[in-house]
Structure 1
Protein backbone atom coordinates (compact mmCIF):
# COMPACT_ATOMS: atom_id res chain seq x y z
CA UNK A 1 0.00 0.00 0.00
CA UNK A 2 0.99 3.60 -0.46
CA UNK A 3 1.92 5.55 2.64
CA UNK A 4 1.31 9.15 3.59
CA UNK A 5 3.91 11.60 4.88
CA UNK A 6 3.11 10.45 8.42
CA UNK A 7 3.94 6.88 7.48
CA UNK A 8 0.36 5.65 7.72
CA UNK A 9 -1.48 3.98 4.86
CA UNK A 10 -3.34 6.15 2.37
CA UNK A 11 -7.04 6.31 3.28
CA UNK A 12 -8.31 7.16 -0.19
CA UNK A 13 -10.24 4.42 -1.96
CA UNK A 14 -8.65 2.68 -4.93
CA UNK A 15 -9.82 3.51 -8.42
CA UNK A 16 -12.23 0.96 -9.87
CA UNK A 17 -10.23 -1.87 -11.39
CA UNK A 18 -6.96 -0.68 -9.82
CA UNK A 19 -5.16 -1.35 -6.57
CA UNK A 20 -4.22 2.26 -5.80
CA UNK A 21 -5.87 5.68 -5.59
CA UNK A 22 -5.36 8.32 -8.27
CA UNK A 23 -2.78 10.14 -6.11
CA UNK A 24 -0.60 7.07 -5.72
CA UNK A 25 -0.51 5.59 -9.18
CA UNK A 26 -4.04 4.50 -10.01
CA UNK A 27 -4.42 6.68 -13.06
CA UNK A 28 -2.46 6.44 -16.26
CA UNK A 29 1.17 7.50 -16.07
CA UNK A 30 0.97 9.25 -19.42
CA UNK A 31 1.40 8.50 -23.07
CA UNK A 32 4.29 6.41 -24.32
CA UNK A 33 6.70 8.63 -26.20
CA UNK A 34 6.43 12.26 -27.21
CA UNK A 35 3.60 12.49 -29.69
CA UNK A 36 3.82 16.31 -29.76
CA UNK A 37 7.15 16.08 -31.56
CA UNK A 38 5.38 14.67 -34.64
CA UNK A 39 2.92 17.39 -35.55
CA UNK A 40 3.45 16.78 -39.25
CA UNK A 41 5.60 14.54 -41.41
CA UNK A 42 7.28 17.27 -43.41
CA UNK A 43 10.79 16.51 -42.23
CA UNK A 44 10.44 12.86 -41.27
CA UNK A 45 10.99 11.44 -44.76
CA UNK A 46 13.88 13.80 -45.47
CA UNK A 47 15.52 12.99 -42.15
CA UNK A 48 15.20 9.25 -42.63
CA UNK A 49 16.62 9.49 -46.14
CA UNK A 50 19.57 11.52 -44.86
CA UNK A 51 20.19 9.00 -42.08
CA UNK A 52 20.17 6.14 -44.60
CA UNK A 53 22.63 7.99 -46.82
CA UNK A 54 24.96 8.77 -43.91
CA UNK A 55 24.83 5.16 -42.71
CA UNK A 56 25.80 3.87 -46.16
CA UNK A 57 28.68 6.36 -46.40
CA UNK A 58 29.89 5.33 -42.95
CA UNK A 59 29.65 1.64 -43.80
CA UNK A 60 31.64 2.18 -47.02
CA UNK A 61 34.32 4.12 -45.15
CA UNK A 62 34.57 1.51 -42.40
CA UNK A 63 34.88 -1.26 -44.99
CA UNK A 64 37.68 0.70 -46.67
CA UNK A 65 39.48 1.19 -43.38
CA UNK A 66 39.26 -2.51 -42.52
CA UNK A 67 41.04 -3.30 -45.77
CA UNK A 68 43.96 -1.07 -44.75
CA UNK A 69 44.78 -2.98 -41.55
CA UNK A 70 47.70 -5.41 -42.03
Structure 2
Protein backbone atom coordinates (compact mmCIF):
# COMPACT_ATOMS: atom_id res chain seq x y z
CA UNK A 1 0.00 0.00 0.00
CA UNK A 2 2.81 2.41 0.60
CA UNK A 3 4.53 2.22 -2.78
CA UNK A 4 1.60 2.14 -5.20
CA UNK A 5 -0.17 5.33 -4.08
CA UNK A 6 0.17 8.20 -6.56
CA UNK A 7 -0.01 11.63 -4.97
CA UNK A 8 -1.61 14.53 -6.77
CA UNK A 9 0.98 17.28 -6.16
CA UNK A 10 0.52 19.13 -9.45
CA UNK A 11 -1.38 22.06 -7.86
CA UNK A 12 1.33 22.59 -5.26
CA UNK A 13 4.13 22.30 -7.78
CA UNK A 14 2.57 24.90 -10.09
CA UNK A 15 1.65 27.38 -7.32
CA UNK A 16 3.64 30.61 -7.15
CA UNK A 17 6.72 30.51 -4.96
CA UNK A 18 7.79 32.84 -2.18
CA UNK A 19 10.07 35.63 -3.40
CA UNK A 20 12.06 35.98 -0.17
CA UNK A 21 15.79 35.44 0.02
CA UNK A 22 17.01 32.87 2.53
CA UNK A 23 20.06 33.22 4.77
CA UNK A 24 22.12 31.25 2.28
CA UNK A 25 21.19 33.72 -0.47
CA UNK A 26 18.99 31.38 -2.46
CA UNK A 27 15.30 31.93 -3.09
CA UNK A 28 12.74 30.46 -0.70
CA UNK A 29 11.07 27.51 -2.39
CA UNK A 30 7.96 27.39 -0.20
CA UNK A 31 4.62 28.10 -1.86
CA UNK A 32 3.34 31.65 -1.43
CA UNK A 33 0.20 32.27 0.59
CA UNK A 34 -2.86 32.77 -1.59
CA UNK A 35 -3.02 36.33 -3.00
CA UNK A 36 0.35 37.21 -1.43
CA UNK A 37 3.92 37.21 -2.68
CA UNK A 38 5.45 35.54 0.39
CA UNK A 39 5.09 32.24 2.20
CA UNK A 40 3.71 31.99 5.73
CA UNK A 41 7.22 32.10 7.20
CA UNK A 42 8.32 35.22 5.31
CA UNK A 43 5.41 37.55 5.94
CA UNK A 44 2.48 36.07 4.06
CA UNK A 45 0.58 35.07 7.18
CA UNK A 46 -2.35 37.12 8.41
CA UNK A 47 -1.36 40.16 10.48
CA UNK A 48 2.33 39.50 9.89
CA UNK A 49 4.93 42.21 9.43
CA UNK A 50 5.41 45.53 11.10
CA UNK A 51 2.38 47.65 11.97
CA UNK A 52 1.68 50.98 10.28
CA UNK A 53 4.38 53.44 11.21
CA UNK A 54 6.84 50.58 11.85
CA UNK A 55 7.33 51.15 15.57
CA UNK A 56 8.88 47.65 15.74
CA UNK A 57 12.01 48.97 14.04
CA UNK A 58 12.89 51.02 17.13
CA UNK A 59 14.86 48.66 19.33
CA UNK A 60 17.29 50.85 21.21
CA UNK A 61 17.97 53.94 19.10
CA UNK A 62 21.76 53.48 18.96
CA UNK A 63 21.88 53.98 15.19
CA UNK A 64 19.54 56.93 14.76
CA UNK A 65 20.77 60.19 13.22
CA UNK A 66 20.55 61.92 16.57
CA UNK A 67 22.64 59.27 18.31
CA UNK A 68 25.26 59.33 15.54
CA UNK A 69 25.48 63.14 15.73
CA UNK A 70 25.86 62.96 19.50
CA UNK A 71 28.69 60.40 19.20
CA UNK A 72 30.42 62.61 16.65
CA UNK A 73 30.16 65.59 18.99
CA UNK A 74 31.52 63.58 21.93
CA UNK A 75 34.49 62.42 19.79
CA UNK A 76 35.24 66.04 18.86
CA UNK A 77 35.17 67.14 22.52
CA UNK A 78 37.45 64.25 23.51
CA UNK A 79 39.90 65.09 20.74
CA UNK A 80 39.99 68.73 21.88
CA UNK A 81 40.64 67.55 25.44
CA UNK A 82 43.50 65.31 24.27
CA UNK A 83 45.07 68.21 22.34
CA UNK A 84 44.85 70.43 25.41
CA UNK A 85 46.45 67.77 27.59
CA UNK A 86 49.31 67.36 25.04
CA UNK A 87 49.90 71.11 25.05
CA UNK A 88 49.96 71.28 28.85
CA UNK A 89 52.41 68.42 29.29
- What TM-score results when the alignment is normalised by the length of structure 1? 0.39
- What TM-score results when the alignment is normalised by the length of structure 2? 0.31
Which has a greater percent of helix?
Answer: 1
